[in-house]
Each structure stands twice: as structure tokens, then as C-alpha cells.
Structure 1
Amino acid sequence: MKNVAKRRHRPLTEAEAAYHGGYAEGRRFGGCQAIMERVQSYVPAPRDMKVLYIPQGFDAIDEGVILALQQSVRECVVGSPAAMLQEAGQHRPDVVLVMNGLHVFPENHLEQVRGIRELGIRTAIWFVDDPYFTEDTASICQHYDIVFTHEEAAVSFYRDKGAQRVIYMPLAVNPGMFHPRRTEPQHQYDICFIGTGFWNRIDLFNQLAPYLADKKVFIAGSQWSRLARLDVLGRFIHEGWIDPATTVDYYNGAKIVINVHRTCENGEDNRNTHQLEGNSINPRTYEISACGTMQITDTRGDLPRYYRPGYDIETFTTAADLQRKIQHYLHHEEERQAMAWRGLLTTMNRHTFNRRMAELLGHL
């Protein structure tokens, strides 16, 4: 048998690379458009109800809830944490729905809730940061008529703390914000992660540093100065907050987006003094998939309820496992895009705020 010399491929010129990048982006976006045409239309049946919604100040969730309420009830009034009692007295809603009740809420938050209930108005709260702030939510839950939580492990916990009605209600995505879109070269990367540098994430990326060194990587968020391998990863890091609209650009532009849930351990980054386990998936799970992008996430107990690992989402267990899967999907474009498109279809058909709000309102 003759020895055949291996063909050496010359590096692409800048123009050739731009052409190939544009072709790949066009194919990705075209596939996403085809998937969106298969999404089942869903128009909620309006309920004869007036809701005063009190946002938490995080647009990615609040805007989705507000839009869903506007399409689902007779009237939705958006209030503020500082003036919710005054606004309830002014608008006389059927129910006041509070998002989270943490972070931006004033010290008299619970006094206001008591005043609203004395007006004969029902109150409900949706905890979406469980189980990371149980030191606070353990007392807050007792003051509301209905408690919704996206963490199933917290349901019995809140009942034990005196909450009268506690209902498991997972999060969802706002498709008006998170959806497929065309991207420009400045948003196109091999690998993307956007989020705070919690210690479990820091440990993971320290381990991945040698592998990521020659990749095109985008990491954004706060506290990434904790990294021990800043010598390798520092050039990839964009310290600080990125607004949702820009986040959508980076999600769409990435070949792979990594999702890592924060640790549930009480300590520097959490106030989980009651040490509840975390089984719920984070909002990022829905948001990444809604952009039609390949997602590799760590495992959570709730994940198989909403996605099919290996079919419409990929999972990892260790840094070595994640590295192996990143390498595989970077070099298998059709397989990567097929999984991303299946994740897009699952998300848009099952996990939008319109659908979730219909379920929530059914309990009010």
C-alpha cells in the first residue's frame, strides 16, 4: 500500500474565515426560523381578574411575567416594592402578586403585606431564588395567603414554617426577549458563560483553563477576579453586568453556552441557613435554549421534567466530562445544531411565561 502524505490545510485568510462564519450563522438562523414555524401557538383564555404585580427589578423575569399577565387577566397594574400598600388601596386589585420579596424590598415589606390583607385583598408571592435565601424566606412565607416556589424541595419547608398554601411553580422564559436572532462577528464565540463567579463556577473554570486557552471564549459577570487561573482566562473575562438584550446576542452568537447552577451551601454567596437542597433549574436553562443555541448544563433533579438530556439539552458531571463534550460538539456542527433546535422547540412549546402564568393563575 502506498504511503499517502497527509494534506496540510493552510490557515484561512480573514476574508475566507468571515465567509465561512457568515455561512454557518445563516444556516443556524435559518434552522431556528424553521423551528419557530413549528411552535404551537398559545393564546391564554383571559380571566376576569385584576392583578397588582410587584416586580423584583430583574427585567428578564419581570418583563415576561408582566406581558403574560397583560394577556391573561382583565387588568394588570405594575406597582413598586416601596409603595405596594398604597397602590393596593388605590387600585383595589383582586390579588397582589409579589415577585420574590427579596433584595430590593424595603424593611416595611411585611408591614405592607399585612396592611394589604387587612384591606381584604389576597396576597401571593413567587419565590424564584430558592433555596439560596432561606434565612429570609422562612419568615416571609408566613405573611402571604399563597406561596409559589420554583423549588420543589421548599414546598414542605414553607408549610412547616406556617405558610397556609404552598404550590410548586417552576420558572419559564420570556420569548419576546429571548429568541433566535442574527448576530454580528463581535458576539460570535466558541464558548460562552454569563453569570456571577460563585465558588463552584470558579473551581470548574480553573480546571478548564488549560483546555480553553486556545479557544474563542467569552465569560462575563462579577467576581471572576476570584479565579486562580487569571493568567490564562483573564483575557476572556468581561467584568460586570450585561443587560438582557446584549446577553441574547452572546447566547445567539455562541456555538456552545455553558450553564452552571450555583452551589446551595450556606456561606459567603448564599443565605441558605436551613440548608435546603436545590433541585430546580435556573432561568438561564430556559433562556439559553430559547435562543436556539447548544447548551451544556450541570445536572439538577428537576431537569428531566422539562428537558430530555442527550436529546434537547446536554449535561455534564465533572470538568473532564464537560471538556470532552465541548470538544465533541465543537467538531460536530450538525449534531450540535440539531440538539440546539430541539431545545428551542421544547422551550417555546412548553416553557414560556404565557403557559406558566395560566397554571399559576389557576391557583388564585
Structure 2
Amino acid sequence: MIASFRVLVCGASPDSANNNTVLRGYVANGFRAQLSDGSVRVCSLEGAEQVTRDFVPHLIVAFGSCMPAMANYLGLKTAALDVGACLAFWLHDDPYEFDYAYKIVSLADVVFTNDRWAATHYAHPCVYHVPLAADREAHFRDHQPNKERDVFFCGVGFPNRVALLEDCVDILRSFNVVVAGAEWPAHLPFAENRRVPNSELPNLYASSLVTLNLGRRFNLANSRFNLDASTPGPRTFEAAAAGTVQCMFVEGFEIDDYFDEGAGEILLFDSPSELRRHIEMLRDDPARAAAIALAAQRRALRDHTYENRAARILALVGHRRP
């Protein structure tokens, strides 16, 4: 990519309905690392039409969720056509909101989706799978040999997660466990109903011997095909960059494309007893725990940063620049 290639990263939904604006900044950082600071602008969806006309980008990446009713793209599409920009959407909540993809299919020159399985269901000629990632500056932490807790998890208490942790209560009683987030039932003794700011999460990962990786099963608009998520979410990459050992509940094998259990980058489990064995092993063998955490961190920083994702996007749309 030549230095003069310009990219605008904007929201795919208005900031008033966007709980993930911080991710947009990570995406912009990825493009800046590939191009230059002056070649990348970042703004809200509300300001994107005017910024497009002023900045005249070659590529517009509308990043986020297209589900909110107030997310309207006609003005942005018109501006993109007027300046000759490629309009791409990078959707980060597939497949849970897949039924709303119709809003962008006729407008997008290119569609990027966070989920591999969802990518095969788009009625669009240019659809690519681009997972989310980690931000090197925001998520990297130096390895901490002394841990403050044995087990940590942060996330919403979706029914599948509650059911899994209910099954694990007995085996987790002997460990120091913290589960934080919203909508956790009171009967889980280690769960706290508190939201953790994104800026605090890397420190909590880094200071935990084990970080649980529990997928989400909670569809907001996924009735057309009832798709199962295949690609792990962004916290998989963020936690790895922070230098923790992840124990992931196995629901599919795509994780092997990102972290290699055989190479000692992640631990997988499919039963409470297997999870207990992993935790006990890590407590008894700090050197091995450190080796797994550092291997995962190296892999994340090598292959799973937003700089990596930006490089892929630029390669895929490079033929479209003037």
C-alpha cells in the first residue's frame, strides 16, 4: 500500500447506540500501523458523510453493528460514490444479528464479518471472514509470575454460561475464583454483578492464573438461518495478549486456527473434571503456566492484532484503489 492511500474508519451504528466504540479506535490503530497517522481518520457514523467529503478516503470501513434502527447509510453511500471510495462494512456481532445484514448488502462494496460460518450465508459477491483481534498498546502486559487469583472470567451471564458454571461449582470451590459481569444469578458463589471497564480487563487477565473462555449463545436477530457462531470473540485475542493461560470450553474446532493446544498456546476442556485437572496442573507447575501464557502472548502479537487484520483488509481491497 502506498502512503497516500487513505482510510476512514467509522461506526456502523450511531454512538448513542454503540457500546463498543473503543473497538473502533483499535481498528483505526491497526490501519495507522499499516499506513501512517495522517492516512487514517476515525469518526462516528453521524459524522462519516461529512468526513468522507472532506478527507476523500479511498476506503471507508464502517465497523460495528448494523442492527440499531437509527443506523442509516444512504448519506454515507452517496458520499462514497461522490468521492470514489470503496465502502466496506466490518460487522462484529455475527451471527447473533445476522438477520439485519440485509440493511448493508445492497450498499456495501465489500463485506467483512467476524464469523467464518456467517460469511458463507451472505448474498453478496465480496464477503470475507476477518476475526476481531487485540490492540498491542491496549492489551499487552508484561508477564506477572505472582497471580492474585486462580480463575477469572468476565462477561454477561448468558444462560449457556450460567449452566456451565453451575456444573463447575463443586470443582471450583477450592480455588480463588472471580466471575464478573452483568446478569449473573446470586446462587453462583463466585459471581459478581459488576461491569468491568475495558481498560481494567488486561490487568485482570494478567493477574489471573487462568482465564476462562466461555462462548456466547444469545441471539438478538438470528432466526433466518439460526447460525451457530464458529469464530472465537475478541476477548480470546485480548486475553492472550495480556499474558494469561486461557482454558476454553470447546464447542468447535476453529480455535485451532488461532491458538494451538499442541504447541502449548491454550488449554481446552469439555467437562468440569478436565477443567479441574488443568487448574491443578497450572497451580502445581508455575513454569509450565508461564510457558503457556507467554506462548499465547507471542502468537497473539504475531498473528492476531488489529495491525494484522488491517493488512488483510488492505490486501483484499487493494485492487479497488484509484
**TM-score bracket relative to the smaller structure:** 0.7 to 0.9
The answer on 1:257 being equivalent to 2:211 is yes
Mapped to 2, the partners of 1:320 and 1:60 lie a distance apart of: 37
**Aligned ranges 1:215-294 → 2 under 5 Å:** 215-225=175-185, 230-233=186-189, 236-263=190-217, 269-273=219-223, 274-294=225-245
Paired position in structure 1 for 2:295? 342
**RMSD value, Cα:** 2.3
Mapped to 1, the partners of 2:28 and 2:139 lie a distance apart of: 15
Q: 1:333 to 1:363 in 2, by over 3 A?
A: same
1:318 deviates by 2.6
TM-score of the superposition, structure 1-length normalised?
A: 0.77
1:246 deviates by 0.9
Q: Aligned residues: percent identity?
A: 22
1:129 deviates by 1.5
State the AA in 1 paired with 2:126: R
Mapped to 1, the partners of 2:6 and 2:271 lie a distance apart of: 48
Contact between 2:97 and 2:219, CA under 8 Å: does it hold in 1?
no
TM-score of the superposition, structure 2-length normalised?
A: 0.86
**Aligned ranges 1:48-197 → 2 under 5 Å:** 48-55=4-11, 58=20, 61-74=23-36, 75-102=39-66, 107-119=70-82, 120-158=84-122, 161=123, 163-181=124-142, 188-197=148-157
Gaps of 5+ in 1: 1-44
Contact between 1:101 and 1:125, CA under 8 Å: does it hold in 2?
no
Mapped to 2, the partners of 1:189 and 1:84 lie a distance apart of: 44
Equivalences, count: 305
Mapped to 1, the partners of 2:7 and 2:235 lie a distance apart of: 27
1:164 deviates by 3.0
State the AA in 2 paired with 1:288: A
Mapped to 1, the partners of 2:272 and 2:21 lie a distance apart of: 32
Mapped to 2, the partners of 1:113 and 1:67 lie a distance apart of: 22
Q: 1:149 to 1:211 in 2, by over 3 A?
A: same
Contact between 1:191 and 1:254, CA under 8 Å: does it hold in 2?
yes
1:60 deviates by 5.1
Contact between 1:280 and 1:301, CA under 8 Å: does it hold in 2?
no
Mapped to 2, the partners of 1:59 and 1:220 lie a distance apart of: 21
1:54 deviates by 0.6
